[in-house]
């Protein structure tokens, strides 16, 4: 079965499990609170539907990994829900912290319900994730449940550290690529690492394989982010006509930007002078490339991609789900398989 076929089977099960978890809040007095969450999850309200739900990459990664380890993915559904709930908790708080008014083409939670309720809605998604992971106790031995919970919580600490670093970099220009990796390792890679780690933990593969799966998720996250950072400056849509969407305008401290800052050349000097205007984007992207950032970013993406695929080979995934994992990796990294 192809990745697409697998996704067709897994997606409804993921949505059903997420709904089951969030239903804990569906009581008469807290129904409007519950509806904040069903809106955010993309199930209700204006613009509801698959676009608003996002790709659910993380729960898919949990379940396909589990399946590639010859275990029944159905048993791992609470873990799949848990990582997606963590992801969404971080999105709700992120949007407040960044003052972002749009998410997946719709108004963000805080725009509709205010920041105080937005903070609380994010907190509740976090709680629901903690409750979801304990539901593994229905199927797995208690020792395994505790290991799974520990993976989840350790990952969340990495997330808050990554978030701290990201926010602390906002006003800084004294940064280099060395500051990039721990930030993005926490903010992006840690949760993907948790997905593949959890999927393999909930099977009978040994710890060596579990570590290989974890590494796969981690490098996949890094590779995906670095590639996204590349496109944020040199992507076609950014350079042609939609320059206002360039990371140079938003001020995002992406890998190429931090490379350029570390060079302390013309790019660095321009950035210390204040915000970049859309009409400067093409010239500044060229300058950044001339200073070596484009090559460094591309090579970094390639290196992380290689590490991800090497880790996946080491993990030795089985059957059609195993092939689907390679396909998922190649798809996320925009490579032909």
Residues that bind a second copy (CB under 8 A): 24-25, 27, 29-30, 32-33, 93, 96-98, 115-117, 119-120, 123-124, 126-128, 130-131, 134, 137, 141-143, 145-146, 149-150, 152-154, 156-157, 159-161, 163-165, 167-168, 182
Token pair of 153 as six digits: 């919580």
User: Least distance (Å) from a second copy to the CB of residue 122?
Assistant: 8
- Kindly tell me which of 142 and 240 has the beta carbon lying closer to a second copy: 142
- Kindly tell me which of 187 and 214 has the beta carbon lying closer to a second copy: 187
Contact predicate 166/187, CB 8 Å: yes
- Kindly tell me which of 4 and 172 has the beta carbon lying closer to a second copy: 172
- Kindly tell me which of 98 and 306 has the beta carbon lying closer to a second copy: 98
- Kindly tell me which of 178 and 279 has the beta carbon lying closer to a second copy: 178
Pick left, alpha or beta for residue 49 (phi over 0 → left; psi -120 to 50 → alpha; otherwise beta). left
Give the DSSP per-residue string, 74-130.
Answer: GGGHHHHHHHHHHHHHHHHHHHHHTT--EETTEE-HHHHH-HHHHHHHHHHHHHHHH
Residue 103 phi/psi, 5° resolution? -145, 125
- Kindly tell me which of 151 and 284 has the beta carbon lying closer to a second copy: 151
User: Least distance (Å) from a second copy to the CB of residue 102?
Assistant: 18
User: Least distance (Å) from a second copy to the CB of residue 23?
Assistant: 12
User: Least distance (Å) from a second copy to the CB of residue 141?
Assistant: 8
Token pair of 252 as six digits: 């995002």
Residues with Cβ < 8 Å from 92, sequence gap 6 or more? 40, 108, 109, 110, 118, 121, 122, 125
- Kindly tell me which of 129 and 243 has the beta carbon lying closer to a second copy: 129
Contact predicate 117/67, CB 8 Å: no
- Kindly tell me which of 59 and 122 has the beta carbon lying closer to a second copy: 122
> In Å, how far are 52, 72, 166, 239, 332 from 300, measured between CA atoms?
31, 35, 19, 21, 16
In whole angstroms, give the CA distance from residue 294 to residue 315.
32
User: Least distance (Å) from a second copy to the CB of residue 101?
Assistant: 15
The number of beta carbons lying within 10 Å of the beta carbon of residue 93 is 22
- Say which DSSP state 188 is in: I
- Kindly tell me which of 167 and 244 has the beta carbon lying closer to a second copy: 167
User: Least distance (Å) from a second copy to the CB of residue 32?
Assistant: 7
User: Least distance (Å) from a second copy to the CB of residue 147?
Assistant: 10
Token pair of 128 as six digits: 């629901």
User: Least distance (Å) from a second copy to the CB of residue 106?
Assistant: 21
User: Least distance (Å) from a second copy to the CB of residue 79?
Assistant: 15
Which of 157-160's residues contact partners 24+ apart within 8 Å by CB, and which partners? Answer: 158/185, 158/186, 158/190, 159/86, 159/90, 159/186, 159/187, 159/190, 159/191, 160/186
- Say which DSSP state 49 is in: S
């Amino acid at each position: 079965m192809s990745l697409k076929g697998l996704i067709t089977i897994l997606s409804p099960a993921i949505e059903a499990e997420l709904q089951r978890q969030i239903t804990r809040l569906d009581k008469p007095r807290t129904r409007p609170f519950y509806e904040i969450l069903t809106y955010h999850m993309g199930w209700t309200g204006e613009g509801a539907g698959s676009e608003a739900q996002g790709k659910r990459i993380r729960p898919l990664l949990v379940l396909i990994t589990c399946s590639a380890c010859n275990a029944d993915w159905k048993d791992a559904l609470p873990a799949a829900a848990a990582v997606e709930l963590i992801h969404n908790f971080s999105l709700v708080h992120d949007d407040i912290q960044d003052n972002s008014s749009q998410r997946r083409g719709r108004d963000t939670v805080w725009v509709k319900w205010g920041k105080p309720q937005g903070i609380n809605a994010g907190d509740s998604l976090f709680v629901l994730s903690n409750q979801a992971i304990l539901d593994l106790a229905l199927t797995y031995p208690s020792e395994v449940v505790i290991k799974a919970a520990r993976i989840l919580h350790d990952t969340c600490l990495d997330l808050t550290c990554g978030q701290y670093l990201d926010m602390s970099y906002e006003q800084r220009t004294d940064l280099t690529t060395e500051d990039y990796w721990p930030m993005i390792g926490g903010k992006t890679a840690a949760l993907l690492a948790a997905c593949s780690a959890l999927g393999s933990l909930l099977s009978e593969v040994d710890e060596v394989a579990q570590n290989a799966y974890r590494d796969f998720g981690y490098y996949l996250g890094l590779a995906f982010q670095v590639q996204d950072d590349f496109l944020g400056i040199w992507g076609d849509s950014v350079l042609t006509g939609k320059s206002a969407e360039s990371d140079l305008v938003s001020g995002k401290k992406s890998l190429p930007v931090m490379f350029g800052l570390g060079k302390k050349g013309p790019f660095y000097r321009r950035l210390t002078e204040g915000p970049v205007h859309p009409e400067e984007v093409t010239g500044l992207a060229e300058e950044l490339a001339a200073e070596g950032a484009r090559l460094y970013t591309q090579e970094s993406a390639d290196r992380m991609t290689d590490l991800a695929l090497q880790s996946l080979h080491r993990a030795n995934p089985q059957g059609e789900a195993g092939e689907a994992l390679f396909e998922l990796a190649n798809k996320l990294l925009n490579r032909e398989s």
